[in-house]
Structure 1
């Protein structure tokens, strides 16, 4: 277990957020930062790094996620696009020169939990993915990824579409 994750287990969120603040200098490209309820400075990147592997779905699927809080404007994020159905942000831990996340405004925990009424929304998310890929200059190609469930490496249980590009991508991915 990493030191940051161990801090969460041993001393709670306040210790983790304090450690994250110490690792991220004030004039760092790892911004945006989040000021939590403890008044400490942590980055979204360091908060997500503790859960880089897939995790079990939450017991309460209606509980707020970091993405629902970003959509609500409670947490700052670099927004690239938004409409009445979704918000697109830059990933704070990019895996390529361009790494965007398409977040539906409707809380849908997983692709595998979608039903017939979600078909128009799912189509819209893919349409927006290609739209922002063009906007970002990814004419040579890009990858669209949706992680689903623990074994699919899903770490945030709010459906999101990764748009990755800006370099030659490798196959197989994982």
Structure 2
């Protein structure tokens, strides 16, 4: 596993940085991205500090499934019945800029393929 370091998401979880929270439970937090790339752009993060997808362990199986169910719940609440994109960047070459696992929920506009 990658070394766990303090991140902006750690500070958001501790409420040291204010964000527009959409969903929260004991395991996860979801909030609006401060630099949205679509009309709906929400980040879903585990409260457990996992640096990236490659660092997920077998014991995180339930947590990762829980995160995806949160994405589904938020997408439904946001009225994204016609579709949405779910993105997990893994590592700097993929565009991951915060070393804390996070899922991007993007919707509200037509998505292009291939993504950039």
* TM-score computed with the length of structure 1 as normaliser: 0.65
Considering Cα pairs closer than 8 Å and 6+ residues apart, tell me whether 1 or 2 has the greater RCO.
2
Gaps of 5+ in 1: 1-59
C-alpha separation in 2, matches of 1:171 and 1:136:
22
C-alpha separation in 1, matches of 2:5 and 2:112:
35
Are 1:168 and 2:110 counterparts?
yes
For residue 69 of structure 1, the aligned residue among 11, 25, 41 is: 11
| Deviation readout 1:78-103 (Å, 9 max, x if unpaired) | 00010111000000100000000001
* TM-score computed with the length of structure 2 as normaliser: 0.96
C-alpha separation in 2, matches of 1:72 and 1:135:
25
Moved over 6 A (4+): none
Corresponding residue pairs, total? 115
C-alpha separation in 2, matches of 1:96 and 1:114:
27
Gaps of 5+ in 2: none
Q: Is the 8 A contact 2:4 2:50 kept in 1?
A: no
Higher helix share: 1
State the superposition RMSD in angstroms.
1.0
2:32 paired residue number: 90
